[in-house]
Amino acid sequence: MIRRRVIIDCDPGLDDAINLFLAFASPEALEIVGITTVAGNVPVALTERNARMVRELANREDVPVFGGCERPLRRPPVYADHVHGASGVDGMTAFEPRAARDDAHAVDWLVETLRAANAGEITLVATGPLTNLAAAFARAPDVLPKIAEVVLMGGARREGGNITPTAEFNMFADPHAAAAVFACGRPIVAIGLDATHQATATPERLAPLRAISGPVAEAALGMLEFANTVEFKRRGAVGAPVHDPCTVAYLLAPRLFATKPCCIQVETEAALTLGCTSVDYWGATGNAPNAVWVDEVDADALFALIAERISRL
C-alpha cells in the first residue's frame, strides 16, 4: 500500500473521534500531516479540544491540531449536541489535554501546508461541515493542484436527510462551503448516508471492540454506546449509524465500498431543501461527474477493521 499524506478536517463528534482513532492506528498507510477542526457538531472550541483529547489517548501528539472556522461561510451555526452530547464526545471521560492548543488558525495552516506540498501530494479527509476547506480554496485557489483527492462524509440520495427531511448535517450546516468544494475541480469521494446508514453499531459488530482492553477501546466503546442510547431514544433503532470512520476506512480498504461516478451538486438557496445533495446517479442532467458517490459499505468488515486498529493503540 502506498503511504498517503493526509490532512483530516473534522468536528469531533463521536464518529469523528472513532475516525481519528482509525487514522492514528494506521501509520503504515497514513502520514497524518495535521488535523484541522471546525464548528459543527459542537462549537470549534470543543471540537478542537476533543481532537487533542483523542490525539493524547492515541499517544499521537506528533500530529498537530488546529482550530478553524467558528461559523459557516454565510449561514448561522448549526450544532448536533443533541446527538453527540454537550461535550461533543459524550461517553468518554473528558479531560484537559496536556499539550496546549496550536495558535495558528486552521485555514492559515491549510493554505501554508498545501502551498508547501508537491502537486497531487495531499489527501484531504473531511468529516464535518466544509467551511475550512472552502475558505482555504477561496483564499488560495493556487493550492488546489496540491490536492490528490478529497474524501468526505456528507450528503444523501436514497436516504433523504438526517437534520432536515432533505439534507445531511455536514451539507446543511454549511451548504455554500459544500457547493464550493464539489465545484473545486479536484477528485472527490463522497460517502453519504446511503452508505453510512448501513454502518450501524449493532451488538454483534461491537463485540470485537468489547474484547479489547485499554483507554482507547474504553473511550471508543463508551462513545458508541452513548450514540446507541441516543439512537434508540430518538428512533427506537438498535445500533447508531457510524458515519465518519467510513472515510479513513475507504483509504485503508477501498474494496469494502461500492462506488459510482456522479455529478453532485448542493442546494444553497431553497429554504425547504437547503443542503440537499443532488446526486445524478443515472446521468439525468448530462453533466460530467465531479465526484465518486459511495452508496454501499461492507459494514461487518468495517467494524472488524475499526476493532483491529483500535487494538493496536
Q: Give dist(CA 148, CA 140) in Å, integer.
A: 16
CB of 37 to ligand RIB, least distance (A): 12
CB of 128 to ligand RIB, least distance (A): 5
CB of 124 to Ca ion, least distance (A): 14
Out of 6, 7, 13, 33, the residue judged to bind Ca ion by CB under 5 A: 13
Q: Answer with the entry of ligand RIB, Ca ion, none that 80 interacts with (C-beta below 5 to 8 A by kind).
A: ligand RIB
Q: Tell me if 9 contacts Ca ion by CB under 5 A.
A: no
Out of 67, 72, 88, 128, the residue judged to bind ligand RIB by CB under 6 A: 128
Contact indicator for 17, 54 with CB cutoff of 8 Å? yes
Out of 51, 80, 227, 276, the residue judged to bind ligand RIB by CB under 6 A: 80
Q: Tell me if 166 contacts ligand RIB by CB under 6 A.
A: no
Q: Give dist(CA 127, CA 259) in Å, integer.
A: 18
Instruction: Give which of 274, 241, 281, 271 is closest to 171, Cα–Cα.
Output: 274
Cα-Cα-Cα-Cα dihedral of 112, 116, 117, 123, to 10°?
-10
Out of 37, 127, 131, 162, the residue judged to bind Ca ion by CB under 5 A: 127
CB of 32 to ligand RIB, least distance (A): 18
Q: What angle do CA 128, 71, 18 make, to 5 degrees?
A: 25
Q: Tell me if 192 contacts ligand RIB by CB under 6 A.
A: no
Choices 69-77, 89-97, 165-173, 230-238; region in contact with ligand RIB by CB under 6 A: 165-173
Q: Which three cell numbers stand for residue 61?
A: 501528539
The DSSP symbol for 200 reads: B
Binding mask 43-72 for ligand RIB (x = CB under 6 A): ------------------------------
CB of 131 to ligand RIB, least distance (A): 12
Choices 12-20, 94-102, 139-147, 215-223; region in contact with ligand RIB by CB under 6 A: 12-20
Q: Give dist(CA 85, CA 89) in Å, integer.
A: 6
Q: Give dist(CA 259, CA 189) in Å, integer.
A: 9
* Catalytic site includes residue 105: no
DSSP string, 69-128: -SS-SSSPP---HHHH-TTSSTTS-----SSPPEEEEHHHHHHHHHHHSPTT-EEEEE-S
Out of 68, 128, 241, 275, the residue judged to bind Ca ion by CB under 5 A: 128
Active site residues: 243
